[in-house]
Amino acid sequence: MAAKAIMVQGTASSVGKSLVAAALCRIFARTGLRVAPFKAQNMSNNAAALPDGSEIGRAQYLQALAARAEPRAEMNPILLKPESDLRSQVILMGKPYATLKAAEYYGRKAFLWEAVVQACAVLSADADLLVVEGAGSPAEINLAACDIVNMAVARHLGSPVILVADIDPGGVFAQVVGTLALLSEEDRALVRGIVINKFRGDIGLLEPGIGMLERLSGIPVLGVIPMLKGLALPDEDGATIKVGGSAAGDVPGASGEKRLDIVIIKLPHIANFDDFDVLALEPAAALRYVDEAGDLGQPDVIILPGTKSTMADLAWLEERGFADGIRWLARTGTAVVGICGGFQMLGESIDDPERIEGGGGSMKGLCLLPVRTVFKPDKKVSPRRGRAETSLGGRLAPLAGIVLEGYEIHNGEAEVNGPSFAQLETEEGIVGDGARSSDGGVWGTYLHDIFSSDEFRKAWLATFGARAREESRKAALDASIDALADAVEAALDLEKLREIIGLAGLEPKRKGEP
């Protein structure tokens, strides 16, 4: 018997579809059901590397963790990674497929749809329930003929849809009524429940509107989810990053001491920015994302994050005055860290002879590390484990030999004319990774998620005199997923939702059972 399915769609982007879907994954997994998340097409530069060398969106990776399921490429068969306003790299079943403009992509709808259908079939074969996420809004009438992620998936699976709307910016009732009005009669019939998300205030003031919305739409409101804060769960969209502000280190921490001021450059094509979520949880540290050089101040640390377009973002650093500012701050004692593309930028040069990033050519780097990067077609995608170099000295001496874990996703190969930062375990054996300056004030690595390595994070913060929390990142993440699930479960009419899905009397499958 095919798995049951419930689809989470939204009235717009960033209304909370991903986290509502993650909550449902955990809620139903806790009942013993075998749950699998699914999103046919995702657009994000936040990707997770899987052990088989494939990559999926971080949102689906989080949902897999919430479902207590092994992440796999079928959970996100199409991942679009924007390289500019006009083109995206298409990751198909976890592997690079092509770099396409929008018209080219939509011209391959039939081929891409077959991948979606096959992925659905594979997941359904070994699950009781698929929790399916849509993208953007199902009411984008200009794209309806090209749809392979919203109502097309719901129709294919015969899945009921719950529609999530964000009340925080206002206009929530118009969001819902307008969305429903633009759907075809067939698609509107699939919408079986409405969820109002991110509510704060007196719910009594909302109730008259809920009753009117139900009468206008003929669809029940399944619940109102409150604005949830402090869950430390990653966003998948860089547009949600807040920038600017004064030097955060001037704000005292919980124990009264000055907090570590960490600045992260919000690059135009920033990728995998959830690398730093774990640092945001540290009471002794304060993170600021900046996109104006004038907001740099004099921080304790500057981090150059990963990017989908290293050369374009390096040019942006120069144009916006960041490059000179970073070089000056490095000379005056600010620590500078580069992750993946940020590591490449810290080097002496970047060459793209095969036009991997589109424009080709060569660029001078920030010249803070003795590294030359050459882009090549082969993409490295893999979880990694290793240790910081035992020879680390200067500021980095306390990190020597510490265990590291994370993942690589990059095209460039670095020629390092100096000591590496870490030794990583690879299929070819132990290889050097990253680079560091002689005094340890500047270092870089290809290893994403390095700060989630608890021992490393604690030792790194200690080099600045900052004390880290004792709770592990893994435990904190799982606790946040449970807290999210608890809040959503309390807010929704779960009995009605189970009825909509058709779960009454459903017994969980045993592994391998059809």
If asked whether residues 170 and 275 sit together in one domain, one would say: no
192 and 246 co-located in one domain: no
Last residue of a domain, one of 471, 486, 507: 471
One-letter amino acid at 344 equals Q
Per the domain annotation, does 306 fall within a domain? yes
Residue that terminates a domain, selected from 179, 208, 232: 232
Q: Which domain holds residue 374?
A: 242-471
Q: What's the mean pLDDT in 288-303?
A: 96
> Model confidence at 258, in pLDDT bands (50, 70, 90)?
confident
CATH of the domain at 314: 3.40.50.880
Query: Is 222 in the same domain as 257?
Result: no
Cβ contact 484:23 at 8 Å: yes
For range 443-451, the mean pLDDT:
96
Catalytic residue among 120, 269, 410, 448: 448
366 lies in some domain = yes
413-417: average pLDDT: 93
pLDDT grade, residue 354 (50/70/90)? confident
**Above 70 in pLDDT, residue 318?**
yes
End-to-end CA distance of the chain: 7
| 24 and 155 co-located in one domain | yes
Within a domain: 80: yes
Q: Output the pLDDT for position 235.
A: 66
Dig out the tokens for 131 from the structure. Answer: 């929790």
Whether residue 480 is contained in a domain is answered as: no
Same domain? For 331 and 293 the reply is yes
What distance in Å separates the CA atoms of residue 37 and residue 154, rounded to the nearest whole number? 14
Q: In the predicted model, what is the mean pLDDT of the chain?
A: 92
In a domain, 405, yes or no: yes
200 and 270 fall within a common domain: no
Co-location of 38 and 159 in the same domain: yes
Continuous segment of H or E residues that includes residue 37 = strand 35-38
Read off the CATH number of the domain in which 225 is found: 3.40.50.300
41-72 pLDDT tens trace: 999 998 999 999 999 999 999 999 999 999 99
pLDDT band at 256 (very low <50, low <70, confident <90, very high): low
**Predicted pLDDT at 231:** 80
At a CB cut-off of 8 Å and minimum separation 6, what does 479 contact? none
Q: Is residue 485 part of a domain?
A: no
Q: Is residue 497 part of a domain?
A: no
Mean pLDDT computed over 106-122: 96
Residue 436 CA to residue 442 CA, distance in Å, equals: 6
What local confidence, expressed as pLDDT, does residue 301 receive?
98
Band of residue 356 on the pLDDT scale cut at 50, 70, 90: confident
Q: What is the DSSP string of 227-289?
A: P--S--PPPS-GGG--B--S-GGGSB-TTSSBPEEEEEE--TTEE-GGGGHHHHT-TTEEEEE
Q: What is the pLDDT of residues 202-233, one digit of tens each?
A: 999 999 999 999 999 999 999 999 999 878 78
What mean pLDDT comes out for the span 193-199?
97
Per-residue pLDDT at 86 exceeds 90: no
Give the Cα-Cα-Cα angle 271, 274, 276 (nearest 5 degrees). 110
Question: Which residues are within 8 A (CB) of 396 and not within 5 positions of it... i.e. 6 or more apart?
Answer: 388, 436, 440, 443, 463
Is the model's pTM score more than 0.85?
yes
The pair of structure tokens assigned to 440 is: 């340890």
User: Whose CA is closest to 296, among 254, 335, 264?
Assistant: 264
pLDDT band of 108, cuts 50, 70, 90: very high
> How large a percentage of the chain has pLDDT more than 90?
84
Domain count across the chain = 2
Tokens representing residue 215 in the block = 């009468």
Whether the pLDDT of residue 247 is over 60: the answer is: no
Q: How far apart are CA 145 and CA 152, in angstroms?
A: 10
At 132-171, the pLDDT tens digits run 999 999 999 998 999 999 999 999 999 999 999 999 999 9
Q: Tell whether 508 is covered by a domain.
A: no
% of the chain exceeding 70 in pLDDT: 94
Q: 213 and 335: one domain?
A: no
Phi/psi region, residue 304 (left: phi>0; alpha: psi -120 to 50; beta: rest), is beta
**Is residue 306 over pLDDT 90?**
yes
| CA dist 436 → 67, 134, 177, 389, 444 (Å) | 39, 43, 56, 10, 6
Structure tokens that stand for 323 in this block: 């490059």
Helices (H), 369-453: none
Kindly state whether residues 442 and 333 are assigned to the same domain.
yes
Mean pLDDT confidence for 229-240: 68
25 and 145 share one domain: yes
The pLDDT assigned to 282 comes to 93
Which of 25, 120, 269, 340 is catalytic? The answer is 340
Catalytic: 340?
yes
Q: Are residues 216 and 302 in the same domain?
A: no
Question: Rounded distance, CA 447 to CA 422, Å?
Answer: 9
Do residues 225 and 184 both lie within one domain?
A: yes
Q: Distance between CA atoms of 347 and 74, rounded to whole angstroms?
A: 37
With cut-offs at 50, 70 and 90, classify the pLDDT of residue 359.
confident
Label residue 261 by pLDDT band (50, 70, 90): very high
Residue 367 designated active-site: no
**Structure confidence at residue 507 (pLDDT):** 58
Query: Length of the chain in residues, anyone?
Result: 514
Instruction: State whether residue 73 is helix, strand or coil.
Output: helix
